[in-house]
Amino acid sequence: MNNRHVFSFAASLLALSLLGACVDYSEQAYVERPVADLYNSAMDRLQLGDFRDASAMFDEVERQHPYSTWATKAQLMAAYSLYQNDDYDQALVALERFIQLHPSHRDIAYAHYLKALSYYEQISDVSRDQLMTKLAMESLKEVIARFPDSKYARDAMLKLDLTKDHMAGKEMEVGRYYLNQGHYLAAINRFKTVVDKYQTTSHVPEALHRLTESYYALGIDDEARKSTAVLGHNFPGSEWYIDAYETVEEKQFRPVDKPSWYEVWKSEPTARVQKLPLPEADEDSWYQFWKPTEDASKEMNAAKEKEKTVVKKPASEKNWYKFWKPEPNKPEPEEKKDPPPTTVISPPPTTAKSQAPEKKEDKSWYVFW
């Protein structure tokens, strides 16, 4: 029984300690105090760096004395205390409330500036979402447009340039990813955004160089040369211009440190970007022997051209082996005809005296025919 009582007593002590830990000491009992004492106590807490308690005490000033002139000042100081405590969301809520309730207050410029700073302090790395950067840019532009002569406008202009540089860095981050993946059209759109919208940032030389690389990879040499020319005109001594010029001219202008003979793990430097290869012609398979090859088709075309230029022999010439064919355009030989008979005038007859005796034909024995 004694052990059971000890255990129950320990459990009750533990429960009381947990309940005590859950008590919110920020909700203090209402004790009416003069407005000057509350405001001065809140300022003391603020100077000591106790921003959370300072913000709570400034809210107490507004709660106890809502119609006092110090209540309006306490609203703005409560938002400032939350900003110093890195509680930017609560600070933005308090600042929006102050801007809506007191649009013509003498410290309204500071309220807008503090609102822009609350967004500006939440800007993250370029590898993450840049929503806060966009909101900070819009708020800073509002401060410059509405209060150009205030002491906050100059610092707002400086921070506006930094936000633009950050937005350009985000576009370059995405564009480099597309370029490494081979999505050149998407990369070109990102780099063009940097050149067109963020011309005063430090990312413009690299954006022009990446445009040159993207156009060169796509085979659009004219656009690549234009980007290089713009880069050389605006940034003639930039390292990006030298890289772009080497890419377009396909030459090496910088001295290249070749690896030593023992540094076998190091490879020779190569070009950063290469043109996309053209599609190769379909080669005939081994079994498609009836299709002429490229050399055979060239020989056939050359033979046809040669036949066109050869002078043909005239049709009158006859080949030696075509003996049965008559030669064209040649008259046939005329048959030989006997000459017509002519009238022979015999001499006058002679007398018997003058007539010579006839000789008898000598027929030898051997002339039997």
Segment 25-39, tens digit of pLDDT:
345 566 777 888 889
Higher pLDDT, 285 or 163: 163
Residue 320 to residue 326: CA distance in whole angstroms:
12
Residue 227 to residue 233: CA distance in whole angstroms:
10
Highest mean pLDDT, choosing among 46-55, 184-193, 315-324: 184-193
The tally of domains found in the chain comes to: 1
Q: Does 262 map to a domain?
A: yes
pLDDT tens-digit map of 81-119: 999 999 999 999 999 999 999 999 999 999 999 999 999
Query: Which has the minimum average pLDDT: 47-51, 113-117, 314-318?
Result: 314-318
Provide mean pLDDT across the span 300-315.
65
Provide mean pLDDT across the span 329-350.
50
Q: Does 97 map to a domain?
A: no
Q: Residue 193: pLDDT band by 50, 70, 90 thresholds? A: very high
* Eight-class DSSP state of 342: -
Q: Does 260 map to a domain?
A: yes
- For residue 212, the model assigns a pLDDT of 94
283: Cα separation from own chain's centroid: 32
H or E, element range at 142:
helix 131-146
Exposed/middle/buried for residue 273 (C-beta within 10 Å: 0-12, 13-18, 19+): middle
Provide mean pLDDT across the span 56-60.
91
Q: Does 237 map to a domain?
A: yes
Whether the per-residue pLDDT at 261 is higher than 80: the answer is no
Is residue 66 within 8 Å of 38, Cβ to Cβ? no
Whether the per-residue pLDDT at 205 is higher than 90: the answer is yes
Q: Does 235 map to a domain?
A: yes
Whether the per-residue pLDDT at 343 is higher than 50: the answer is no
Q: Does 250 map to a domain?
A: yes
Sign of CA dihedral 239, 182, 184, 134: negative
Reading the block at residue 194, the tokens are: 């940097």
Residue 249: which domain range?
Answer: 203-277
Q: Residue 361: pLDDT band by 50, 70, 90 thresholds? A: low
Higher pLDDT, 362 or 117: 117
Nearest Cα to Cα of residue 136 among 169, 152, 154, 112: 112
- For residue 222, the model assigns a pLDDT of 93
**86: which residues sit within 8 A by CB, 6+ positions away?**
121
Query: Which has the minimum average pLDDT: 1-5, 148-152, 191-195, 297-301?
Result: 1-5
How much is the mean pLDDT over the chain?
Answer: 78
Nearest Cα to Cα of residue 45 among 34, 37, 54, 36: 54
Q: Does 181 map to a domain?
A: no
Residue 311 to residue 309: CA distance in whole angstroms:
6
Nearest Cα to Cα of residue 253 among 262, 261, 245: 245
Sign of CA dihedral 198, 203, 204, 210: negative
Is residue 123 within 8 Å of 166, Cβ to Cβ? yes
Q: Does 244 map to a domain?
A: yes
